[in-house]
Amino acid sequence: MIALRLAGRELRTLFAAPLPWLLLALGQVVGAWWFLTLVERFRGQYQAVLQQTNSPLGVTDLVVAPFFGSYVLLGVLLLAAALLAMRLLAEERRSGSLRLLFAAPLAVTEIVLGKYLAALAYLLVFLAGWLFMPLGLLAGTELDLGRLAAAALALGLVAAAMASVALFASSLVAQPAVAVVLTAGVLLALLGLDTALGSGDPVIAYLAVLPHYEGLVQGRVVSTDALYFLLLTAGFLGFTIRRLDGLRWHGTGV
């Protein structure tokens, strides 16, 4: 399938530059620091209390859930998505190399899908690294693997939505820097919607990312939450396809 070939090529060009590597390293350092902080806190503060009170809580509740359930990993993903927005379409438009794809026998859907899969793959590399950290705890303790899988799914769904937002922002403008700001703006709005407004309005609560994300991280895999992320992803992919089609019609400097 040509979209996969496009994605493979896109990843190769992405990793030919130093910035994605740097960001990947930074993401892992931040993730590791946050993870070790949580482990340290568990050993120093919680473990003794838990044993005394014979509490049902364990490592999964006090290390794994907060590890995935905080803003730290989401923030790093947001940064990575913003970097992707810079590269994906905006730069191709600016350098004019998008014309090669437009004049080639490719459908816009294939181009968008190829770019999207590459973006998603890049974000999933972050995720894989972070997933190995709690898995390392298996050496010394027991983990609720089901909840870990739910948390990984949650982060994966967020990454999928972020990649599609980044791709859309990247298709809007030919200036990479503007695409970065747009991505960050849209993603921050989606992440902070509920907290910022805090109105308890059911529509806003449904639109915001965090309520859906938190449910999944806590281990409640609800189909509506998964559907929310899939809708978000498909929606922005659809916008991108329309936008690229529009570039052909309006000719605003492909």
Partner 1 sequence: MTAEVLLETTGLARAFGPHAAVRGIDLRVGRGECLALLGLNGAGKTTTLEMLCGVLAPGAGTIRVAGHDLLAEPRAARQCLGYLPETPPLQPDARVIDYLHWAAVVRRIPRSRRRHLVERTLERCCLGGVRRRVIRNLSRGYQQRLGIAQAIVHQPPLVVLDEPTVGLDPRQVQGVRALIGDLRRDHGVILSTHVLADVEAACDRVAILHDGRIIHEQAVAPAADGDRRYRLRFDRPPRPDAVQALDGVLAAEAEGEQSLRVVVRDEAALDGIVAQAAHGGWRLRELAREVRTLEQVFLACTAPRPEEAA
Q: Which residues bind partner 1 (CB under 8 A)?
A: 2, 5-6, 9, 13, 16-17, 95-107, 248-249, 251, 254
The DSSP code sequence of 79-100 is HHHHHHHIIIIIIHHHHTTHHH
| C-alpha dihedral, 24 to 92 to 11 to 239, nearest 10° | 90
Question: Of 200 and 249, which has the nearer Cβ to partner 1?
Answer: 249
The CB-of-19 to partner 1 minimum distance in angstroms stands at 12
Question: Of 70 and 97, which has the nearer Cβ to partner 1?
Answer: 97
Centre a 10 Å sphere on the Cβ of residue 200 and count the other Cβ atoms it contains: 8
The DSSP code sequence of 98-127 is HHHHHHSS--HHHHHHHHHHHHHHHHHHHH
Question: Of 11 and 205, which has the nearer Cβ to partner 1?
Answer: 11
The CB-of-92 to partner 1 minimum distance in angstroms stands at 8
Token pair listed for 156 = 């994966």
Is residue 86 a contact partner of residue 170, using CB atoms and an 8 Å limit? yes
The CB-of-20 to partner 1 minimum distance in angstroms stands at 12
The CB-of-98 to partner 1 minimum distance in angstroms stands at 7
Question: Of 41 and 94, which has the nearer Cβ to partner 1?
Answer: 94
